[in-house]
Amino acid sequence: MLPENDLWILSFYRASEITGALFFGRLARSLKPNDIQRDLTKHFCDEACHAWYWTECIERLNAKPLKLPNAYQDKYLEAAGIPVNMMEVLAVTQVFEQRVISQYSIHRQVPGLQPEIKETIERIMRDERWHIEWVGAALAKMEKKYGTDLVESTLHRFRQADRQVYKKTVDEHGQRIQDLMKLRRR
């Protein structure tokens, strides 16, 4: 049986992956074909698959995903503002993907973690590593247009926002992720 807190966390991951897929799909559709549009299309596909992997994982654990009102990304706009160009979209994506892989790394280490959850996390983390690589490479190319200082300051701004959003998420849902946070403090 999947404990309620575990179901909530997995459903939260699933909702975030759905949100990411929808965002990247709309963004990829709006761009002219080029390298970024190509990679955004793959990124969109990965995020949609990740949502399915969480759905499948939850069902293998004899549960049904919860319908949650918000995803993690929904809080970014309030904390950091709406990205105004592709460089800012990629900067916030880079910071978010780094948060995701960090969170999955922490979760993967939870003692007594069900094998289905661990397998799903490891499967998704392979894609997350590529997301960080392609976005990092695209941002490096954009330094010519925007300047290294602006790219770095934009990343810094979104990292600050991410810390704020993560803290708020932990504060709001601390009971649900208490075991994960205990691991992180070690």
- Please give the class, per CATH, of domain 4-185: mainly alpha
Position 167 scores a pLDDT of 86
What are the DSSP calls for 1-40, one per residue?
Answer: ---HHHHHHHHHHHHHHHHHHHHHHHHHHHSPSSHHHHHH
φ, ψ of residue 109 in degrees (nearest 5): -95, 0
Position 183 scores a pLDDT of 46
Q: pLDDT grade, residue 178 (50/70/90)?
A: low
Position 5 scores a pLDDT of 86
Least confident segment among 66-70, 77-81, 110-114, 150-154 = 77-81
Place of tokens 């849902």: 173
Q: pLDDT grade, residue 185 (50/70/90)?
A: very low
Could you give the maximum distance between any two Cα atoms of the chain, in Å? 53
Q: pLDDT grade, residue 184 (50/70/90)?
A: very low
The string of pLDDT tens digits covering residues 99-123 is 999 989 989 988 889 999 999 999 9
Burial of 57 (0-12, 13-18, 19+ CB in 10 A): buried
d(CA 63, CA 116): 13
Predicted TM-score (pTM) of the model is: 0.90
Q: Is 139:87 a contact under the CB 8 Å cutoff?
A: yes
d(CA 177, CA 2): 15
Domain ranges of the chain: 4-185
Provide, rounded to the nearest whole percent, the portion of the chain with pLDDT above 90: 72
Q: Indicate the average pLDDT of the chain.
A: 90
User: pLDDT at residue 18 above 60?
Assistant: yes
User: pLDDT at residue 59 above 70?
Assistant: yes
